[in-house]
């Protein structure tokens, strides 16, 4: 089996590739395990070196339909569609967001359709598909009313995955991810970037700014649990999903204030003092329109699970990304 990961040079894409290399197989649409012969990482930039002969890199524009047609042949049994323009950038550049988050998604699905063998497609969506005036806990039945271009673009992708699956062109599944944290590296233009920054930078001895109100709730998931969820979502039989291929993944509901309090418990008062509260109205408006928690009973019945608490998310970041000396201290 060949596996395609779009956004393969990104943080989750590289982690997923590592996990699949170690795992060695995935279920085909017939429900039987198939050995992974090749993992293709498609991105606009090269991925960091992954030392395995099964890894191949394609560098190019995800919105190039001809590139997608070349990448998705009958050997591709599974597609993890992770590539996207992030929320803040999609809001600032409407045309770029539509081109990558909508047009490229449709082109990818058309390439799968043209291949003619109904590959399994996992599409990552977002809390941003919901909108303002939400209940304390969003239900599966809650109407989508995105208040950002990114949320609208992800909602369009969800509908496309559902319809292409209904028509039998793909075996699709949509995983609505909570905000993923803590991510290593530098901040990006996602409105949710602060959720990593207010932990990552203080742990590195640097100042960080929290742009949202302390009482604003955020729905969070660790990278560990995100990768676990991507693979579990892939492995589910189509009949377990029924007519709706969309699953809200479990997460941790926590306010920005509680996130900093957890940082203090795990890493000490000095780390927590490095967080400054400087509200940015644009970021706060976007984040406040997202659900702080949603009903995950369906996901849990399917076998998905989230992190125990935000303290656990911080500890996982320390263990996975920082030195063993710091991990021992934490």
Tell me the catalytic residues.
150
Residue with tokens 């090269």: 46
Residues forming a β-bridge with 219: 253
Q: How far apart are CA 217 and CA 195, in angstroms?
A: 11
278 token code pair = 């400087």
End-to-end CA distance of the chain: 41
- Rounded to the nearest 10°, the torsion over CA 257, 327, 252, 302 is 180
- Reduced to 3 states (helix: H, G, I; strand: E, B; else coil), residue 3 is strand
- Count of beta carbons in the 10 Å neighbourhood of residue 241: 20
Distance CA 38, CA 2 (A): 5
Distance of CA 1 to the CA centre of its chain: 23
Q: CB–CB of 90/101 below 8 Å?
A: yes
Q: In angstroms, rounded to a whole number, what is the distance separating the alpha carbons of residues 111 and 58?
A: 16
Round to whole Å and give the CA distance between 102 and 96: 10
């Amino acid at each position: 089996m060949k596996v395609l990961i779009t956004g393969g040079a990104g943080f989750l894409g590289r982690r997923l590739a590592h996990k699949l290399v170690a795992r060695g197989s995935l279920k085909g649409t017939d429900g039987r395990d198939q050995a992974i012969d090749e993992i293709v990482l498609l991105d606009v930039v090269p991925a960091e070196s992954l030392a395995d002969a099964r890894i191949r890199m394609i560098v190019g524009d995800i919105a190039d339909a001809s590139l997608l047609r070349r990448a998705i042949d009958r050997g591709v049994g599974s597609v993890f569609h992770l590539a996207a323009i992030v929320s803040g950038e999609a809001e600032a550049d409407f045309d770029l967001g539509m081109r990558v988050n909508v047009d490229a998604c449709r082109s990818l699905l058309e390439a799968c359709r043209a291949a003619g063998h109904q590959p399994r497609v996992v599409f990552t969506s977002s809390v941003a598909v919901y909108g303002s005036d939400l209940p304390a806990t969003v239900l599966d039945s809650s109407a989508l009313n995105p208040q950002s271009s990114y949320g609208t673009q992800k909602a369009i992708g969800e509908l496309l995955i559902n319809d292409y699956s209904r028509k039998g062109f793909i075996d699709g599944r949509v995983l609505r991810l909570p905000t993923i944290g803590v991510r290593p590296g530098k901040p990006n233009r996602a409105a949710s970037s602060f959720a990593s920054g207010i932990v990552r930078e203080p742990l590195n001895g640097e100042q960080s700014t929290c742009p949202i109100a302390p009482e604003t709730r955020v729905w969070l998931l660790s990278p560990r649990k995100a990768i676990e969820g991507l693979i579990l979502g892939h492995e589910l039989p189509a009949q377990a999903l029924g007519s709706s291929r969309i699953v809200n993944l479990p997460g941790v509901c926590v306010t920005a204030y509680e996130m900093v309090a957890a940082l203090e418990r795990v890493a000490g008062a000095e780390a927590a003092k490095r967080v400054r509260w400087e509200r940015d109205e644009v970021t706060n408006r976007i984040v406040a329109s997202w659900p702080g928690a949603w009903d995950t009973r369906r996901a849990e019945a399917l076998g998905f699970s989230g992190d125990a608490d935000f303290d656990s998310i911080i500890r996982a970041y320390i263990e996975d990304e920082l030195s063993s000396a710091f991990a021992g201290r934490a």
